[in-house]
Structure 1
Amino acid sequence: MAHPPLTPSGFEPTFWLLDRALDDNEYLNPRKLHRLLYLAQAYFAVANAGHKLIPATFIADPDGPLEPTLFKAFSYSRPRVDLAKIPEPAETLLDSIWRRFGAHSTEHLTKSLKRHPPYADAYAEAPGAEITIEGMVAFYGRKPTEREGIGALTDRGAPHIEHVLRPRVMRSQSGRPVNVHQWRPRSLKDQ
């Protein structure tokens, strides 16, 4: 059974990231924006059994992962569109992506992502080929080895989802704050 993407369009997460950058007194250039959206789509799919965050297709552009519809929509300026309220799980994910990867330079993000198999395989097929959600889940959902740099975004690996998603802080029965993560059953190959 097909599940709809969490957000009704790619505009909601895009505007969220742009506004978050402004709140942090940063300029978010289009290249970096697309790298962060790509990572958000990938990690959301990992955390949610292959479901998409946004109804979008990322392609292996010669410059790096790119969502062509959003790229064209923002080509001259910030478009005027009616936005839906962004769901809380999307906001939590985007906040985690921003905190984990937002400090990286555009060049670092581009260099690393272009060497990751989802992008590299699609680009080897043909420049402009679609980067599949299955490829994203397979690569970003695995546990990296020490050689790849556990917890780091490198050209050989990416942090495991547990190092990306911020835990929610809830209160125990005694009122003490505790971190909680969404339960994700282990796959058969992890056992």
Structure 2
Amino acid sequence: MAYPPLTDSAFDVAFWMLDRALDDNEYLNPRKLHRLLYLAQAYFAVANAGHKLMPATFVADPDGPVEPTLFRAFAYSRPRVDLQTIPERGTQLLDSIWRRFGAHSTDHLTKALKRHPPYADAFAEGPRAEIELDAMVAFYGRKQTATQGIGALTDSGAPHIEQVLRPRVMRSQSGKPVNVHQWRPRSLKEN
């Protein structure tokens, strides 16, 4: 059974990222935008049992993962589109992706992502082959060993979802701030 994506459009997510970069007085170039969108889609699917953050398909472009519809729409300038508000669980994930990966250079993100199996396997099929969401979930959702660079985006690995998602801060019954994460049951493979 396929579930609908959290957002109505990939434009909602792209504009959120662009606006967040502007809020931080940074320029977000198109290549880096696509790398961050790719990571957002992957980590959202890991955190939400394979559900998509946005109705988007990423392809293995020779330059790295790209969402072709957004690529064309942003070719000359920022397009005029009606945007919808992203639900809180989406903005929480996007904020976590921005904080975790936004400081990386475009080249670092591109080099690392091109060596990750979801991209590499799709590119081996041919340029512009679709990067399967299941492959993204399998790779970005796995636990890492110390040799894979725990917590780092490296050529051979990526941080586990628990190292990417920032916890929400809520108040306990006594008013004390506590960190909370979305509950994710362990899969049978982890037992």
The normalised TM-score by structure 1 is: 0.99
CA-atom RMSD, angstroms?
A: 0.5
Alignment match, 2:113: 113
- How far the C-alpha of 1:174 sits from its partner, in A, is 1.2
Taking the aligned partners of 1:130 and 1:119, their CA distance within structure 2 comes to 9
| Structure 1 residue ranges without an equivalent (≥5) | none
Which runs of structure 2 are paired with 1:24-39 in the superposition (5 Å)? 24-39=24-39
Structure 2: how far apart are the matches of 1:182 and 1:87? 14
How many residues are matched?
Answer: 191
Alignment of 1:1-191 (within 5 A): 1-191=1-191
CA distance in 2, matches of 1:118, 1:145: 19
The alpha carbon displacement at 1:85 in A equals 1.3
Q: Distance in 2 between matches of 1:165 and 1:67?
A: 23
Question: Which 4+ residue blocks in structure 1 deviate beyond 6 angstroms?
Answer: none
Structure 2 Cα separation of the partners of residues 93 and 87 of structure 1: 10
CA distance in 1, matches of 2:38, 2:144: 19
Post-superposition Cα deviations, 1:55-82, rounded to whole Å, max 9, x if no partner, equal 0100000000000000000000000001
Work out the CA distance in 2 between the residues paired with 1:71 and 1:40. Answer: 16
Distance 2:87 2:76 in 1: 28
Structure 2 unmatched runs, 5+: none
Deviations 1:16-72 (A, max 9, x none): 000000010100000000000000000000001111001010000000000000000
Specify the SS of the correspondent of 2:169: strand
Q: Find the residue that maps to 2:111 and give its secondary structure.
A: helix
TM-score, scaled to structure 2 = 0.99
**Equivalents in 2 of 1:85, 1:111: separation in Å?**
32
- The secondary structure found in structure 2 opposite 1:90 is helix
The aligned amino acid for 1:126 is: G
CA separation in 2, counterparts of 1:186 and 1:91?
A: 24
Q: CA deviation at 1:155?
A: 0.6
Other structure's SS at 2:28 match: coil
What displacement does 1:6 show? 0.4
Aligned residue identity for 2:5: P
